[in-house]
Amino acid sequence: SYELTQPPSVSVSPGQTATITCSGDKLGDQFASWYLQKPGQSPVLVIYQDTKRPSGIPERFSGSSSGNTVTLTISGTQAMDEADYYCQAWDSNTAVFGGGTKLTVL
Amino acid sequence: QVQLVESGGDLVKPGGSLRLSCVGSGFTFRGYYMTWIRQAPGKGLEWVSYISSSGGTIYDADSVKGRFTISRDNAKNSLYLQINSLRAEDTAVYYCATASPVGDGHSYFFEYWGPGTLVTVSS
């Protein structure tokens, strides 16, 4: 089955830039989305179609794609950005999520 | 504003059944594709099932095929998930979410999510 691979954890200092990667064999041919989830809350869409940001999502969140890797970048990371982040794509009529990355802001 | 509210989660014995519901408001429900996604305690997100706006197209994850059935009633702005032959590994929070197409229309992102409903399978 198709898999998306994310680092289990990423740490960043407040005000610095956080980057979270997601790799998959077919990502070069697919669009990816990113979601953040804080403890006890539902996931929130932060990036779709690799680079687009939904209304209401701060500009510090951005997405990029290169080859079989997509990247979520958070510029000027704030303490409130501490959360689990998941990438997601589709393959053969099946949605696939990455395993998730815990972003720690310290 | 868009609102999705799930219900129907419960403590069920292995082999049992449940029907989850999700009611949408604040948007034209019949115009949206919909999906169910679950999350086991302390684990990541797992996509479960998808249904087109008319209900004519359904996709299921391999892990639930033959046991879970997604359906919808657009007249009631409602999405359903019938889950049978429950197993301990089905224990999870079940979220309903809207599915919006991108690209050639064969990929989707999940824009709006409900708060989820907890299904616990235990004897």
Residue that the structure tokens 């989305």 belong to: A33
How does pLDDT run across B33-78, given as a tens digit for each residue? Answer: 999 999 999 999 999 999 999 999 999 999 999 999 999 999 999 9
Is the Cβ pair A97, B46 closer than 8 Å? yes
What pLDDT was estimated at residue A72? 98
Q: What is the mean pLDDT of chain A?
A: 96
Both tokens of B37, joined, read 């996604």
Q: Which residues of A have a CB under 8 Å from any CB of B?
A: 1, 30-31, 33, 35, 37, 42-45, 48-49, 54, 84, 86, 88-90, 93-100
Using CB atoms, pick whichever of A44, A84, A89 lies closest to residue B107: A89
B58 touches chain A (CB under 8 A): no
Residue of A nearest to B43 (CA): A99
Pairs across A and B, CB distance < 8 A = 65
Is the Cβ pair B111, A45 closer than 8 Å? yes
Tell whether the model's pLDDT for residue B6 goes beyond 80: yes
Compute the radius of gyration of chain B from its Cα atoms: 14
How does pLDDT run across A16-38, given as a tens digit for each residue? Answer: 999 999 999 999 889 999 999 99
Chain B residues touching residue A90 (CB < 8 angstroms): 106-108
Tell whether the model's pLDDT for residue B29 goes beyond 80: yes
B45 touches chain A (CB under 8 A): yes
- Cα–Cα distance measured from residue A96 to residue B46, given in angstroms and rounded to the nearest whole number: 7
Tell whether the model's pLDDT for residue A61 goes beyond 80: yes
What pLDDT was estimated at residue B105? 75
Å between A43 CA and nearest CA of chain B: 7
Chain A residues touching residue B37 (CB < 8 angstroms): 95
How does pLDDT run across B78-122, given as a tens digit for each residue? Answer: 999 999 999 999 999 999 999 999 987 788 999 999 999 999 999
Is the Cβ pair B103, A49 closer than 8 Å? yes
What pLDDT was estimated at residue B104? 79
Is the Cβ pair B109, A88 closer than 8 Å? yes
- Cα–Cα distance measured from residue B120 to residue B90, given in angstroms and rounded to the nearest whole number: 8
Tell whether the model's pLDDT for residue A59 goes beyond 80: yes
Per-residue pLDDT, averaged over A2-28, amounts to 96
Enumerate the β-bridge partners of residue A45.
Answer: A35
Is the Cβ pair A30, B107 closer than 8 Å? yes
Residue burial B75-109, b: 16+ Cβ < 10 Å; e: rest: eebbbbbebeebeeebbbbbbbbbbbebeeeebbb
Per-residue pLDDT, averaged over A36-62, amounts to 97
